[in-house]
Structure 1
Amino acid sequence: MNANEKLLAFLNQNIGRKFSEGNPNPVTTWLDGTLLAAEMGSITAEFEVRQDQLNHAGVMHGGIITTILDEMMGVTLITYEIEHLYVTINLHVDFLFGAKLGEKLKAVSQVYRVGKKIANVEAKLFNANGQLIAKATSNLAATGVRVSQ
Structure 2
Amino acid sequence: CRVLKADEGKVSVEFEVDERMTNHFGTLHGGCSATMVDVITTGALAASPRGVPGVSVDLHMTYLAAAKLGDTVQLDAEVIRAGRSMAFTRASLYRKPDMALLATGLHTKVFPVQASVWKQREGEHPLDPLAPSSPSLSSDVNPLFYERMMRFAQMDKQEATFSGRVWNARLTNVEQCKLSAEFVVDQQKIELFGGTLHGGCSTTMVDFLTCAALIAATGRPAVSVNLNTTYLAPAPLGTRVRIHAEVVKHGRSLAYTKADLIRVEDGVPIASAKHTLAFNERVVVREQ
Same structural fold, with TM-score higher than 0.5 when normalized by the shorter chain: yes
Q: Corresponding residue for 1:96?
A: 232
Give yes or no for the alignment of 1:38 onto 2:203: no
Match of 2:205 in 1: 68
Determine the structure 1 residue equivalent to 2:276: 139
> 1:5 offset after TM fit, Å?
3.0
- The structural deviation recorded for 1:133 is 0.3
| 1:1-149 equivalences in 2 (<5 Å) | 5-8=143-146, 20=157, 25=161, 27-28=163-164, 30-55=166-191, 56-82=193-219, 84-128=220-264, 129-144=266-281, 145=283
Structure 2 counterpart SS, 1:78: helix
The 8 Å contact of residues 166 and 189 in structure 2, kept in 1 or not, is answered as no
- Aligned 8 A contact 2:159 2:165 in 1: yes
The RMSD of aligned alpha carbons is: 2.5
Q: Is the 8 A contact 1:8 1:39 kept in 2?
A: no
Corresponding residue number in structure 1 for 2:81: none
Counterpart CA distance in 2 for 1:143 and 1:70 is: 17
Task: Tell me the distance in 2 between the aligned counterparts of 1:6 and 1:29.
Answer: 27
Q: 1:78 to 1:24 in 2, by over 3 A?
A: farther
TM-score normalised by length of structure 2:
0.44
Structure-2 separation of matches of 1:76 and 1:90: 17
Moved more, 136-145 or 23-32: 23-32
Residue 53 of structure 1, CA deviation: 1.4
CA distance in 2 between counterparts of 1:77 and 1:141 reads: 11
**C-alpha distance in 1, partners of 2:204/2:284?**
24
Give the 3 Å change call, closer, same or farther, for CA 28–76 of structure 1 in structure 2.
farther
Aligned AA (2:275): S
Moved over 4 A (4+): 9-12, 22-26
Structure 2: where are the runs of 5+ without partners? 1-141, 151-155
Cα distance 1:11–1:89, how it changes in 2: closer, same or farther (>3 A)?
closer
Count, aligned residues: 138
Partner of 1:16: none
Identity rate of aligned residues, in percent? 27
1:44 partner amino acid: S
* Residues 5-33 of structure 1 deviation map (CA, whole Å, 9 limit, x = unaligned): 32426879xxxxxx72x685552463110
Can you list the C-alpha shifts for 1:70-91, whole angstroms capped at 9, x where unaligned?
1111111001124x42111001
Q: Distance in 1 between matches of 2:147 and 2:254?
A: 25
- Counterparts of 1:29 and 1:117 in 2: how far apart (Å)? 30
**CA distance in structure 1 between the partners assigned to 2:146 and 2:217 by the alignment:** 9
Tell me if structure 1 keeps the 8 A contact 2:210–2:246.
yes
2:223 aligned counterpart, secondary structure? strand
Kept in 2, the 8 Å contact 1:59–1:101? The answer is yes
